[in-house]
Structure 1
Amino acid sequence: MVRLRIHVGQGTHRGPLTVFPVWTDAPTLSGLLTGASAAVDVAERAGSPAVDQLVVTNRADRPALLLAGELLEGGWQNRTLTATTVLEPAVPTVLPVLCVEQGRWGGDQQHRRRARRAPVALRPHLERADAQHEVWRRVSGYGAVAGPSPTDSLVDRLDRSRRHGLVDGLAPLAGQSGVLIGIAGRPMALELFGSRRALAAHWTALLEAAVLDALGRPSIRTSAALARGFAERVQSTDLVPIRAAGAGRRLSGGGRIRVDDVRWRDRTAHLTAIDLTHPVLEAS
């Protein structure tokens, strides 16, 4: 299997956050729609809405990439996708989701899909056996840094975290297709897309989610040496296919740093790597 070569650039330090640009030697992947501009409809299950399921339909004429942790807002309650998937056009698909708004059930048939993201600290828990309880617990925990919410909603807390301005003015650089996030002096996560355009489509949501993880953490810069060491670990991780991801396939591997790679037409559409021992993830 051909390995991606990952290159990490100079980081930008903002309080607890350090944001590093990432490039690869992979050719650009085209043909996938993603982000808020992807024409994806979201609906409750007809007749009997379920907390853990939503129906999504790609209304475009090309496949659409939806990401693990992507928020599906409105409906009977705000949810988050549990896994990255590639949706074929015009095929209604029931996808597994988790609730990120514990205090509301019902009252709204309209969904808003803005392709916002759940913080990284939630994502390793999305496919656990006790996932819903753990996600509710962690969403409630963000209240300590982002304030109360009438319905204990992650969306409310993301809205508040934007006011801190930690990532204002940051933008992808020429050719950049990925980003590495350091918090409180340690690399936490790396996300890599199949194209610069795909990264740009998720850029704001990705960084705003990182802010919520960073609030209340020490303002320590993550060093370039640590960031590059993290990228080298990701680059050398052996990945094995584990299951389909809609029209794509998912490969995973690693130990302390878990790597998930969703591929379409045998090319990386979205790769994530998370340090499962980072203090932000280990926090109770």
Structure 2
Amino acid sequence: MNSNGVFSMVRLRLHVGQGTHRGALTVFPVWTDASPVTGLATGATAEVDVAERAGAPSVDQLVVMNRSAKPTLLLAGELLEGGWQNRTLTASTVLAPATPTVLPVLCVEHGRWGGETAHRRQARRAPVALRPHLEQSDAQERVWRRVSGYSAVAGPSPTDSLTDRLDRAKVEAPDLTPLAGQSGVLIGIAGRPVALELFGSRRALSAHWRPLLEAAALDALGRPAVRTTAALARAFAERVQGTDLTAVRGAGAGRRYGGGGRIRVDDVRWRDRTVHLTAIDLTHPVLEAS
């Protein structure tokens, strides 16, 4: 890191393996030569309770409680289902144990307001096309438009719910498992890389693996069945690896860094180690309608 608080991703060497092509999707394994990060819980088995705000539910806020003795990583775009309506987290965070926290969220079910207090956590993810908009000033309107737009490829929903569209698309997700030592994945859609996600360990990647592929399958619906080449995937990873990042803000018990231009990189670090990094190509066609 230099005197301006900027550091380069060169400290994390990314290695991209052979891709698997299914329809419009191409899925590439990603490795790093960093040692695994331990001591964090994450994914569907993490002991996190989610509830509406007591007495006055709010569309843009939910209360979370980490019941584990370990800090717990929640991801931007993670879906919190049930309650008065299904929501998605706007930013990744590391939850300290035993501390109730109010987190910002967005609605992904425009046609429902009412129900139960508690939420279900399955660690499902919003598709890539929603995620760049989660912290914009008009984020809620953009997310509602995008969720409604999926009806053209994934059919209608009685409550205009993203989870209904994910349920229909998940059968299109490739039947893959992470390889030995793999801690990241690069997704190509219709012949172009769209996103790279890197976790602190293979275990953390495995905890989010199926939701990640199912979200990608929804973005791929209706897209041309064109393979993304290994050369394009590796060039994408090199761009990510060379991106200069600056401290953006806190992320609960962690810290968030960001940078890039056409390819936007967000890096959540805990104890100065990357626990979740996302890179998204903001010019990819899957984002055009959003």
TM-score when normalising by structure 1: 0.98
Question: Is residue 95 of structure 1 aligned with residue 103 of structure 2?
Answer: yes
User: Residue in 1 aligned with 2:182?
Assistant: 176
Is residue 85 of structure 2 the alignment partner of residue 85 of structure 1?
no
For the aligned residue pairs, the C-alpha RMSD in angstroms reads 0.8
Equivalent residue for 1:30, pick from 24, 31, 38: 38
Pairing 1:80-159 to 2, within 5 Å after superposition: 80-159=88-167
* 1:200 is aligned to 2:245: no
| Alignment partner of 2:255 out of 217, 237, 249 | 249
Instruction: Report the residue type matching 2:265 in the other structure.
Output: V
- What SS class does the counterpart of residue 115 from structure 1 fall into? strand
Query: C-alpha distance in 2, partners of 1:243/1:26?
Result: 24
Q: Using the alignment, how far apart are the partners of 1:26 and 1:68 within structure 2?
A: 23
Match of 1:223 among 224, 229, 254: 229
Check if 1:72 corresponds to 2:76: no
Q: Distance in 2 between matches of 1:270 and 1:26?
A: 13
Q: Which residue of 2 aligns with 1:19?
A: 27
Letter in 1 for 2:37: L
Runs of 4+ deviating beyond 4 Å:
none
* Counterpart residue number, 1:264: 270
TM superposition shift of 1:145: 0.6
Aligned partners of 1:281 and 1:24: how far apart in 2? 28
Task: Choose the corresponding residue for 1:8, options 11, 16, 24.
Answer: 16
Show the counterpart of 1:46. Answer: 54
Give the equivalent residue in structure 2 for 1:211.
217
**How far apart, CA to CA, are the structure 1 residues paired with 2:259 and 2:170?**
33
In structure 2, the gaps of 5 or more residues are: 2-9
Cα offset for 1:3?
1.8
Q: Aligned with 2:91: secondary structure?
A: coil
**Residues of 2 paired with 1:3 and 1:121: CA distance?**
28
Q: Structure 2-normalised TM-score?
A: 0.96
